[in-house]
Amino acid sequence: MPELPEVEVSRMGITPHLVGQKIQSLTFRTPKLRWPIPAELQQLQGQTIRAISRRAKYLLIETDQGCAIVHLGMSGSLRVLDAALPAGKHDHVDLTLSNGKVLRYNDPRRFGAWLWCDVDKQHTVFEKLGPEPLTDDFSVQTFSDRAKGKKVAIKQFIMDNHVVVGVGNIYANESLFTARIHPQRSAGKVKVAEWQVLVAEIKAVLAKAITQGGTTLKDFAQADGKPGYFAQELQVYGKAGQPCPICGEPIEELKIGQRNTFFCGNCQR
């Protein structure tokens, strides 16, 4: 699944092509993705795109009339193409622009979403989301206070979107490794000094992934079609049995919350 850095890279990739353009038409080739596609999205026709923003893993295509909320799901992707280019098998949504381009949404598994939100209203998908990890709202104090008394594993805790959004499985593994915290440790037993390191590492790992173009997953490429390359620098994720880059001991693997977890039992405590 595309994680926060991949979604942010998509946002940056499509923004120069969309902002300031008028939406000439919208084409939906399927009535339902993860949820039914709302008819209200047709209100975007004739509107000028004012901004492309992101909340968690959702992209918002903003106009004066309202906004389209796009989620890439498990396998979704967005491309800016010439409008004359024929749609492929899994191209479910076209947003045709006044510059002769089309924003095309491809999703083989159909687990993504296109939703509608009126101006000055908050959609229900945003109601219980925690702070963005790359903002000042994501702080050591807030994090450590919420963790007090929690017995849940620290890895599950930092992946909870009610606590902080967008720390997906890959980046949770990497952040805990660089912070030297064992992923099975109870969140309530992480000390404030350790939270200071972990919060900084989460911010650093995500920011680096965004800068480098997002992690290369089999279902993800950037808006211009070029794959990201941060996966080449992952230290523990997907490397079970390989030597730890710090101590040389084999990277271990287990499941936490049904998610594959990679760590160094020697370096992480």
**pLDDT tens, 97-154?**
999 999 999 999 999 999 999 988 889 999 999 999 999 999 999 889 999 999 999 9
CATH, range 140-263: 1.10.8.50
Active site residue ranges? 2-3, 57, 259
Report the binding-site residues.
90, 109, 150
C-beta separation of 251 from 262 below 8 A: yes
Phi, psi of 106 (to 5 degrees): -115, 135
Q: Tokens representing 241?
A: 């049995």
Question: How far apart, in whole angstroms, are the C-alpha atoms of residue 52 and residue 75?
Answer: 20
In this structure, what DSSP letter does residue 218 have? T
Q: Tokens representing 111?
A: 């687990």
- Measuring CA to CA, how many Å separate 35 from each of 26, 39, 112? 17, 12, 8
The rounded mean pLDDT for the chain is 92
Over residues 198-248, the pLDDT tens digits come to 999 999 999 998 888 766 555 555 666 665 655 557 899 999 999 999 999
pLDDT beyond 80 at 162: yes
What is the residue type of 209? A
SS3 helix, strand, coil % of the chain, rounded to 5?
Answer: 30, 25, 50
Q: For Cα atoms 263, 254, 171, give the angle at the middle one, nearest 5 degrees.
A: 50
Question: How far apart, in whole angstroms, are the C-alpha atoms of residue 120 and residue 108?
Answer: 33
**pLDDT of 217:** 52
Over residues 242-268, the pLDDT tens digits come to 999 999 999 999 999 999 999 999 999
**pLDDT of 2:** 78
The domain made up of 4-126 has a fold known as: N-terminal domain of MutM-like DNA repair proteins (3.20.190)
Domain ranges of the chain: 4-126, 140-263
Report the binding-site residues for DNA.
90, 109, 150
Q: Where are the beta strands (DSSP E) in the chain?
A: 23-28, 51-55, 58-62, 66-71, 77-82, 91-97, 101-106, 113-118, 252-256, 259-263
Please compute the mean of the pLDDT values over residues 81-99 and round it to a whole number: 95
Q: Which value, to the nearest 10 degrees, does the dihedral of the CA atoms of residues 20, 24, 30, 33 take?
A: 20
Three-state SS at 83: coil
C-beta separation of 182 from 262 below 8 A: no
The share of the chain scoring above pLDDT 90, in percent, equals 83
The pLDDT-based confidence of 15 (bands split at 50, 70, 90) is very high
**pLDDT of 6:** 87
**pLDDT of 189:** 96
Q: How many CA atoms lie within 13 A of 226 on its CB side?
A: 8
